[in-house]
Structure formats: C-alpha cells, structure tokens
Structure 1
C-alpha cells in the first residue's frame, strides 16, 4: 500500500456523512424489517426479540452490501483509503514484536515495515486528531532511526509490501 496525501477536511466530512447514513439506515431498516415481520408473524406472548434481532441482522447485511458496492465511488475514496490503511497497520501491529526483534538484529525488511507503520500511524492519527500518542511515536521513530544508522540502512516506504510480513 502506498501512502497518499489526504485532504483532512474532505475526509472528515465524508466519514461523518457515511457514519450518519449508516446509523440512519441501520435504525430505520432494523425497525422497518422488524415491524414487517411482527405484522406478518405476530407472537401471542408479545415477545418479538427474535424478529427485532433478525431486523438488525438483515439491515446490517444490507448496509454492508451497499458499502461494498459504493466502495469504488469517488466520494468514498478518502474513507476507503483510511479503512485500508487501518487494515495494513493492523497486519503490522500483530507482528510488531517479531519485527522489532528482527530490526534489532539488522533485518532490513523489518525496519522497512516498522518505518511504514510509524509513517502511516502518524498520518492516520493526524487525520483522526488523535495526537495523544505522538510523543511516543517520536520516541519509537528515534529508536528506529538509531537502528537504521547503526546498520547503515536506508528504507523507502514506497517499497513496502505486506507480503514481506510473511517471513515474521
């Protein structure tokens, strides 16, 4: 995955709209489906939990299908980019202990994956206004910079590919 410059204002606007639309669709759809099922199959005991649950499940599946369908629309570009970025970071985070151990031993691929993670995390946290851990990130980056200098290695995050994580 290549990191791209994202317009923060546009991203936040589109994300808020997508979240709002999903909330409205889930609420309205769940109630609508449940009410239709209750009208078609009334329960004399008055317990309609299973119909309400089915309404939530059916509507959730419909919303997921719509999101997958509109995923490639230009309006969704920034939102999908951040979703994909979070998935890429999760893959790296699951292997971070092994990556750090390998980086300490001079493994260039490990250093590349860590550098990508730090750069992508910075971008993500700035987009989401999550600046609390930026000081920690600066410390981690300084340690990585020390390792890069110690092993006389330069990494270019444009060369990062998730496939290299398989070795860890």
Structure 2
C-alpha cells in the first residue's frame, strides 16, 4: 500500500455519511426484518429474541454486501483508503517487536516497514483528530531516524510494500 494525500474535511464528511447510513439501515432493517418474522412466525411465549437476532444478522450481511459493492464509487475513495490504511498499519504493528529487533541490527526492510508505520500512523491520527499519542510517535520517529543514520540508510516509504513483512 502506498500512502496518499487525503482531504481531511472530505474524508470526515464522507465517513460521517457512511456511518450515519449504516446506523440508519441497521436500525430500520433489523427492526423491519424482525417485525416481519414475528408477524409471519408468532411465538406463543412472547420471546422473540431469535427473530430480533436474525434481523440484525441479515441486516449486517446486507450492509456488508452494499459496502463491498460501492467501495469503488468516488464517494468512498477516502473512506476505503483509511480502512485499508488501518489494515496495513495493523499488519505492521503485529510484527513490530520483530521489526524493532531487526532494525537494531541494521535491517533496511525492518526500518522501511517501521517508517511506513510511523508515517501512516501520523496521517491516520491527523485525519481522525487523535493527536494524544503524537508526542510518542515523534520519539519513535527520532529513534528510527538515529538508527537509519547509524546504519547509513535512506528510508523512502515509496519503496515499501506488504511483501517486506513476509520476512518477519
């Protein structure tokens, strides 16, 4: 995955619309399906938990199918990019202990993956207004910069790909 420049205002606006639409569809779909099932298959003891659960599950499946179908629509570009960025950062984070160890030994790929993680995290946290841990991120970045300087490595995140993580 390559990092892209994202318009924060557009991203927030589209994300809010997607979240709002999902909530609306989940609420109305779940209740509608559950009420239809309760009407068609009444329960004499008055417990309709299984029909309510079925309504929620069917609506979640429908939402997933709709999101998958419209993921390439221009409206979804920023939202899908951030979802994919979060997944890519999660992959790096799971390997971070091994990456840090290898980076200490001068492994260029480990340092490159860490650089991608730090740069991507900075972008993600800025887009989501999560600036609480930015100070820690700056410390981690400085440590990585020192390692790169020590091992005479230039880190260009344009060279990063998911294949780098397979070695760790």
2:115 maps to 1:115: yes
Q: Secondary structure at the match of 2:84?
A: helix
Counterpart CA distance in 2 for 1:102 and 1:126 is 28
Counterpart CA distance in 2 for 1:159 and 1:149 is 18
After superposition, residues 115-134 of structure 1 pair within 5 angstroms as 115-134=115-134
**2:73 alignment counterpart:** 73
**1:89 alignment counterpart:** 89
Count of residues in correspondence between the two structures: 168
**2:32 alignment counterpart:** 32
Counterpart CA distance in 1 for 2:130 and 2:17 is 20
Q: TM-score of the superposition, structure 2-length normalised?
A: 1.00
Q: Secondary structure at the match of 2:61?
A: helix
Q: TM-score of the superposition, structure 1-length normalised?
A: 1.00
**1:57 alignment counterpart:** 57
**1:2 alignment counterpart:** 2
Q: Secondary structure at the match of 1:109?
A: helix
Counterpart CA distance in 1 for 2:144 and 2:164 is 18
Deviation sequence 1:54-89 (CA, Å, 0-9, x none): 000000000000000000000000000000000000
Structure 1: stretches of 5+ with no match in the other structure: none
Moved over 4 A (4+): none
Structure 2: stretches of 5+ with no match in the other structure: none
Q: CA deviation at 1:112?
A: 0.2
Counterpart CA distance in 1 for 2:56 and 2:4 is 36
Q: CA deviation at 1:2?
A: 0.9
After superposition, residues 144-159 of structure 1 pair within 5 angstroms as 144-159=144-159
Counterpart CA distance in 1 for 2:164 and 2:132 is 30
Q: RMSD of the alignment, in Å?
A: 0.3
**2:102 alignment counterpart:** 102
